[in-house]
Structure 1
Amino acid sequence: MSNSNSDEEARTERARRIGLFRYMLIREAADPSLTRRQRGTLVRKLAQQEHIDADGRPVRISRWTLDRWILEWRQGGFDALVPSPRQSQPRTPPEVVELAVALKKENPDRTAAQVRRILRAQLGWAPDERTLQRMFHRTGLVALRSDKPKDSFGRFEADRPNELWVGDALHGPRIDGRKTYLFAFLDDHSRAVVGHRWGFMEDTVRLAAALRPALAARGVPQYIYVDNGSAFVDSWLLRACAKLGVKLVHSAPGRPEGRGKIERFFRTVNGEFTVEIASDKGEVGREIKDLAEMNRLFTSWVENVYHRRVHSETKAEPLARWMAGAPFAVPRIEDLAEAFRWSEHRRVAKTATISLHGNRYQVDPQLVGHKVELVFDPFDLQTLRVRLDGKDAGTANPFQISRHSHPKARPETPAQEEQPRAATTGIDYLNLIDIAHSNHLGGKINYAALAEPPAEAVDLTDQG
């Protein structure tokens, strides 16, 4: 009986301490002489501060709770701030709190839900998950972090050429005041550069200009491994790989392991090639005039220098190691063209018309109400193929044309936007790499042919 009385007295005393704590906290803001604006300023300030509660613990009190306490004090005085003795009893027994703290400290990665499950298994009861979360925040346990050993990654190398290509983009020097970007693809097994292209933009068109001729000349790899840059996650790349049977793999965000080889290649590019271009002077002592010349010189450096030099890790020339797996099957021209077309889905209106980026087209009336796939060259929005459920459904005839190219299909120079289908003088990279491929398979390398552009050159950006 005496124990029961002592417990009741302890609860009553604690309830009074809680009431006193509440009163001391709100007494200044509860002054009747204050205006609403003045009271609001004080309450907001109190809500932003940390206070020591009746049990000596640091706590924060919300503005809503402070306003409620002020209203209760006005209506019932100090007694209204004192909770009933039973309510003042801590709902979570101290021994449960101590065990929860010990479990969290033992393994900081444990969540409140996990701690609750362990408590229930050991004690048959546990406070709810939110109570544990508040307790962990109040005691600072959420800041604990377990000491995890750093992940160790073994050296990986593909077993054969064209098993894995690694792609990435390098920010390069300026030409004629404009920043350049290099898209490159490296064969993981041989370290051979299977595709590359310098451009003025880091977008899908420049990426296609590097990858498409690489696939045409070097064959189709089993995997392509890239990061999560905007050009590499675009839907067109996923479609192109799916059409050619390539498995596209993206590295996990924040975990770039696996791209070390191409990053090492980019360091070599910066140390041996771009260092000569950065000052707008080529290694032959003349000014680099445009991208065509930069791409031509880079191709010559890759084939004459990089591919012919023994690699420090493989102990073999990159091109020779890649050629050890030849011959490679290359995709058909029509299959490659189909893979690198872009597509979008639209629903056919009741008027048998369809809209695409401001343009309107007339389609077969039998397609009214159906959602169809429009397949097109991004630089030519006047010629669209229509497909329904993967089958050809004719063409979309231009009805009202205001845009001739896709918004993402930006040419290298703004002047090209006015005449999107006009050929521009440059270098035919597809033909260039075809020449290199045929020479390599023949057992000889004609670097003179590689360093010079074909007689009739067309910039690949015009081909999408």
Structure 2
Amino acid sequence: MERRVSTLSEIPEDQRAEAYRRYEVVRACVEEGVPQTEQSRASGVPLSTLQRWIRQYREDGLCGLARQPRADRGTRRNLSEEMIKVIEGLALCKPRRSVATIQRQVSALVLGQGWVEPSYRQVYEIVKALPQALVTLAQEGGEAYREEYELLYRREAARSNEMWQADHCLLPIWVKDEQGKSRRPWLTVIEDDKSRAIAGYRLSWSSPSAIQTALTLRQAMWRKEDARWQVCGIPDVFYTDHGSDFTSVHLEQVGADLKMQLVFSQVGRPRGRGKIERFFRSVEQLLLEQLPGYAPKEAWPRTLEPGREKERLGVMTLSDFEQCFRDWLLSDYHSRVQKGQRKGPQERWEEEGFLPRMPESLEQLDLLLVQVARKRRVQQSGIAFEGYAYLDPTLSAYVGEEVMIRYDPLDLAELRVFFEDRFVCRAVCPELSGQTVSLKEIVAARQRRRRQLRVEIVEREALVKRYTKMMVRTDGAVSQEPEKEQENEEKRAMC
């Protein structure tokens, strides 16, 4: 028995099952003494075949009952290797050829090469034996091969806030803007990869940009006022595509300051981001289809026929639409149990009971996300930026120095000025802010700065005179260091 087990381990599974079926037929004759003719009639196995099985079983046991592979398996009889290569080459060439066409073309080559003409069946077997990955690469190109056969590394978060994803979508719905014109709004979304809960969103008329992403991140990270929306914190990884709105220097600075790793999908191949694409489909199917102004892509050509312009008129304003979207997100989507899940996105985000990593304050978020950092040199007329002049009395102490300014791209009325990572002042633009800096304040600041500089000059001049007097003797020769000279004078005085 031990021999049978050790031998069976070397038999393929399909052959092992067939060997057991043959053994059930053979066992009655070998072990129970049933006559071979009787067992042949009962089992339906020809007598000669039964006798051969019994002989193989007595010689090699169960291994002898396994079907032996053909010695010429994997080879094509009467076909040369060169002919097989030609058939395979024709099957891989563009445009795609049928098996009959390949067989006719090869047959035309037989006369000149002295080959044996292949049959249709042989050509068919050669073509079908080609690896499908090889055929796809040859016939459909690298993109189709990449999508179908390349090994993928799909990023999967193990816990909430481990990875967030972000993307933009031009929504298929017409909404009225401030001037009453119908437009399609952009939706920017940040989604938690683990729970699929939405951490933040932003509806805007503006095309995707770094500032839109920053404003959405600000909402996503900070605590929400609505008790139904608990998703917040700083993610470990922020995963996006290679759009300029995500790969900006501003966002890189934010990631470094918040200790948030930025990961970008491969250019042109945003794999692993199907979850957020699925959310956009959910928005269209579960919300937009129920609202007036819904405009699926296939229903609207680039240009409408004359007289059909009214079909594109929006009904809701952007604020009305945002209220509908917010109610749907918090009341429906975040509580909807998705396929393959047991809880809704909001519950899945909360189920681990973790404490999210939070920013120090909302002001810190504004500095990092909303207010962009730039370097500027303080001029005598203040700080020049975007064609405007920014003033503050405190800047009089920093004329000629290079400072770091932070500003809100949506409000250029003031700049926050930093020098060597220390906050200096808020410089205002009188044209944009309505605030003015009086001449009296400027003069007072200049005088204070001048007095400070003169005090420093006097101190340094006094120090230089003191050391010069100690270092120079009456004969004009240079003495030893001041400390040693003073020590020598004290010794001479004691003598």
TM-score, normalising length from structure 2?
0.47
TM-score, normalising length from structure 1?
0.50
Structure with greater helix percent = 2
Q: Which has the higher contact order (CA 8 A, sep 6+)?
A: 1
